[in-house]
Structure 1
Amino acid sequence: MEKKSYTFEEIKQKLVNYCVYQDRCHSEVEQKMRDFLLIPEAKDEIFLYLIKENYLNEERFTRSYIRGKFYIKHWGRNKIRINLKQKGITEKLIAKSMNEIDEQDYLDSVNKIYHDYYSKQKGLKDYQKKSKTIKHLMSKGYEYDLIMEVSDVG
C-alpha cells in the first residue's frame, strides 16, 4: 500500500494534533514523524515549531506521565523511572519531576496494595503469601526496602 503524501503544512498540523491529544515526549514525536517521508530539515523545523509553541514540552510530559502511572495505574517509582528512561527522558528530569507523587499517597498506596493482595492469597502459608505479595509489589515498581517496612508492620 503506498503512503498518502501530505504537504508540509498538513504534516505539521497532524503532529500538532498528535501533541494536543495527549502530552508526548520527543521520542514519541520522532517515531510519529517516521510515518511521513520528511527530509531532516523539515523534521527539525517541525520539532522547533512544536517546542516553541509549547505543543511539545518534555517536562510537562514527564510530570503528567508520572502522575498518570502512579495515580491511575498504581505503579511504583522504579517502574515509572524505567519506562521514562526507555522514552529517552533524562535521569535529571525524572528526578526533578518525581515530586508529582505525594509522599503520603505513595506510602498509602504501598500499604493498600500490600494488604489487598495479601488478603486475596488463599490456601497458602503466611510466609508464602508474604513472598508472593512482595514479588507482586516489586513487579509494580515499588522499592524493596519500603515493601519490607510495610510487610513487617503486618
Structure 2
Amino acid sequence: MSSWGKNNPDDAPKKYWSSDEAKGKLETYCAYQERCQWEARRKLYEKGIKGDAAEELICDMIGADFLNEERFARSFARGKFRMRHWGRTRITRELKLRQISAACIRLGLSEIDPEEYYDTLLTQAEKKWEQTPEKDPFKKKYKVIGYLMSKGFEQDLVQEAVGTVSGQSQ
C-alpha cells in the first residue's frame, strides 16, 4: 500500500462508515465507475474501516464482480488516452501507482490502437507547436518535446513527431 494515511494516523475522517453501511456504500462507489482494489482500500481507510474488515469487504466486491483489475486497467487506459491524451508511459506509471499487475497493465495498453496513438501524438505535437510563442526553433522544439514527454509519450516517437511538425512549419 502507498504512503497515504501513514503520516497522520490519528487524523479522523469527516464521517465514519459503520460496518453495516460500508458494503452498500462501497458497492455504490464501485458501480459509479470502474475502481481498482487500491482505490477501494483507500476509500475504506478514509471512512475508518481498516485491516481484516476492509479486506473482507474487498473480497466480497471481487466476488460480486464490482472490482475487477483487468477491466479497470482496460477502462483506465482507454479513458486516459482518449480523454486526457496521455501516452503509454504515463498510463503505465499511473497504473503501477494503483498497484495493478504487469499482466493487467499489458492488457490495458492493448486497448490503444497504434495508428490512433501516433495520430494523437501528431495532433498534440502540432497543437503545442502552434501554441508555443518561442522564436528560436531549437528552443521551441525543446519545449514541445518536453511537453509531449510529460504527457507520457515515448521519446523515439516524440522525436519523430516533432521532426515532422517542425519540418512543416519552417
Q: TM-score normalized by structure 1?
A: 0.90
Classify 1:123/1:36 alpha carbon distance in 2 versus 1 (closer, same or farther; 3 Å). closer
1:122 corresponds, among 126, 133, 150, to: 133
Which AA in structure 2 matches 1:120? Q
1:14 is matched with which residue? 25
1:74 corresponds, among 85, 91, 114, to: 85
1:59 to 2:70 alignment: yes
1:133 corresponds, among 135, 144, 154, to: 144
In 2, distance between residues paired with 1:57 and 1:141? Answer: 25
CA contact (8 A) 2:13 2:47 kept: no
Deviations 1:91-117 (A, max 9, x none): 221112211111111000110111111
Q: Secondary structure at the match of 2:84?
A: coil
Q: How many residue pairs align between the two structures? A: 154
1:94 is matched with which residue? 105
Of structures 1 and 2, the one scoring higher in RCO (CA 8 A, sep 6+) is 1
Q: TM-score normalized by structure 2?
A: 0.82
In 2, distance between residues paired with 1:120 and 1:130? Answer: 12
In 2, distance between residues paired with 1:2 and 1:49? Answer: 23
In 2, distance between residues paired with 1:134 and 1:54? Answer: 41
Among the aligned pairs, what percent are the same residue?
37
1:28 is matched with which residue? 39
CA contact (8 A) 2:62 2:68 kept: yes
Classify 1:149/1:3 alpha carbon distance in 2 versus 1 (closer, same or farther; 3 Å). closer
Q: Secondary structure at the match of 2:46?
A: coil
Classify 1:5/1:84 alpha carbon distance in 2 versus 1 (closer, same or farther; 3 Å). closer
CA RMSD of aligned residues (A): 1.9
1:112 is matched with which residue? 123
In 2, distance between residues paired with 1:122 and 1:6? Answer: 52
For residue 152 of structure 1, report the CA deviation from its aligned partner.
2.4
For residue 47 of structure 1, report the CA deviation from its aligned partner.
1.3
1:84 corresponds, among 88, 95, 108, to: 95
Structure 2 gap ranges (5+): 1-11
Point out 4+ residue stretches in structure 1 off by more than 6 angstroms: none
